[in-house]
Structure 1
Amino acid sequence: MTWGLVSNWILPGLWITVQVAVFSALIALVVSFVVGTLRTSELWIVRFLSGAYFEIFRGASALVVIFWFAFAFPLLFGWQLVPLWAGALALGLTYGAYGSEIVRGSLAAVPEAQREAGIALSFTRLQRLRRIEIPQAWPEMVPPFNNLAIELLKGTALVSVIAVADLAFAGNVIRLSTNESAPVYTLLLVIYFVLAFGVTRGMRAVERHAKRGVGKLPERKPLFSRAGTATAGGSTTDGGAR
């Protein structure tokens, strides 16, 4: 595998993967909060419709949803989507359904007394969400959102099946042209790991900021944790004999 193949395929594929990940993550974030908050509505019809969306997209394969937007959507509506946007939209709507459950569960975990205080202050439902519930629930959403973002990043490889020249597509082209599977896919593994690690570090920074916003002292986690655990006296124990 030469530098020319890397510069002509891997680097452009990396840029496409980042674009798909960012666009689909933005769509998923919006869907997560809209559907998640609607699922806590007092109106049964709103809860039913938002719950139906959640169940449909949770039960559908992301790959099939990508195929639907790429091939069925133009036939039904007469509007051909650019493959990159078809993939990003499919991933965003699919992972947004999972994210809506994170939002719904975090909002449900807010103490009932906080909601009652908002009602006593004559806050509307939107005001209670904006001023009371979401600020308290947001720090609890970040860790599961981090896991979801990693899964979405890895899921971007699915867009290669509709000829989007992402990392997976580029790796397959190089493999077919050079017949070198091990170095190509090892390089892809390393690139995906670096991307996922960067997402994790960024989300941890967001989590610390969110906890400071609600008066919680964030726990600083080391880059790589040690086997021993700290005791009250400052010593460490590892549960084994010395």
Structure 2
Amino acid sequence: MADFLAELGEAVPRLADGLLVTAEATVLGAALALLLAYVLGLLSGSARRTVRGAARVVVEFFRGTSLYVQLFWLFFALPMLGFRLEPLACGVLALGLNFGAYGSEVVRGAVAAVPRAQTEAALALGMGPVLRLRRVVLPQAHALMVAPFKNLLVQLLKATPLLSLVTVQDLTFRIDQLRSSTGATAASYLLLLGLYFGMAVVLSLGMNALERAAKARAGQEGGA
């Protein structure tokens, strides 16, 4: 254990770099996933059958295939087609596409859960589709989205260790280096477990705060 602690002290800067890479992949992947979730979720509820159908095909493809396979396809197959991305970019793209597909169901369900009377009242006031969506539907739907999005965000964080398989030097990659140099498998992965748990707690607390704010905002607007 003394040897492990000595090696750990020397590895702290590398572990910090890996932690930053993991945080970067999580933030960028979540941002891309959120964007895709809104686009695909709203398109999935379109009145046009072709638009709705195309969105559903995309969603079901990325929900129905493994993130592991998607990641390796982007990293190894795209270069054969003439497109080469950096390992981190491949990881962010895979996370965004996969979790964006799952998130789109959250958006679609939350929008559908807004009482129809609300949109009918907005229509009676002469609001166009975009204005109705922005002023009436989404403010109420946001409060319903935050809790499921919190779960997806934590799941996305827990999926980032897969990025080490395509040479992204994230936290898992750095911990594996520490394990190889010390031979302390249990201690190394116990440290990894604790670090991921800490990050998940921080994300959960932040999303809890967002959920309270979204509910308060929806209540204030409903009262107005």
1:115 match: 119
Which residue identity is paired with 1:19?
E
Counterpart for residue 35 of structure 1: 40
Return the index of the structure with the highest Cα Rg. 1
Q: Please tell me whether the aligned partners of residues 8 and 178 of structure 2 are also in contact (alpha carbons under 8 angstroms).
A: no
Mapping of residues 167-186 of structure 1, within 5 Å:
167-186=171-190
What is the correspondence of 1:83-94 to structure 2 with a 5 Å cutoff?
Answer: 83-94=87-98
TM (normalized to structure 1)? 0.86
2: CA distance, partners of 1:146 / 1:54: 20
Gaps of 5+ in 2: none
Match of 1:122, as an amino acid?
A: G
User: What does residue 46 of structure 1 align with?
Assistant: 51
User: Which of 205, 213, 220 is 1:209 aligned to?
Assistant: 213
- Report the equivalent of 1:97: 101
Match of 1:125 in 2: 129
Bigger shift: residues 28-37 or 116-125: 116-125
- Tell me, in whole angstroms, the C-alpha distance in 2 between the residues paired with 1:3 and 1:192: 17
Query: Quick one: distance in 2 between partners of 1:141 and 1:61?
Result: 24
Compute the displacement of 1:120 (Å).
1.7
Q: Does 1:17 pair with 2:38?
A: no
SS at match of 1:215: helix
Q: 2:76 aligns with which of 71, 78, 82?
A: 71
Gaps of 5+ in 1: 217-242
**Aligned mate of 1:147, from 141, 151, 170:** 151
Deviations 1:172-231 (A, max 9, x none): 111112111011001101100000000000001101111111127xxxxxxxxxxxxxxx
- If asked which structure has higher relative contact order (CA below 8 Å, sep 6+), I would say 2
1:165 has 2:169 as partner = yes
Aligned residue type for 1:181: T
1:59 equivalenced with 2:64 (yes/no)? yes
Q: Deviations over 1:13-60 (max 9, x none)?
A: 111100100100000000011110111111111100111111000001
**Residue in 2 aligned with 1:197?**
201
Q: Which moved more, 1:110-119 or 1:25-34?
A: 110-119
- Per residue, is there more helix in 1 or in 2? 2
Aligned residue type for 1:114:
Q
Measure the CA separation in 1 of the matches of 2:126 and 2:49: 22
Distance 2:149 2:159 in 1: 15
What is the letter of the counterpart of residue 130 of structure 2?
L
TM-score, normalised to structure 2, is 0.93
Following the alignment from structure 2 to structure 1, what is the Cα–Cα distance between the partners of residues 127 and 58? 28
- Report deviation, 1:9: 2.6
User: Does the 8 Å contact 1:5/1:174 carry over to 2?
Assistant: no
Take 1:123 and 1:58, find their aligned partners in 2: how far apart are those partners? 35
Q: CA deviation at 1:123?
A: 2.1
Contact 1:32–1:99 (CA under 8 A) maintained in structure 2: yes
Letter in 1 for 2:30: A
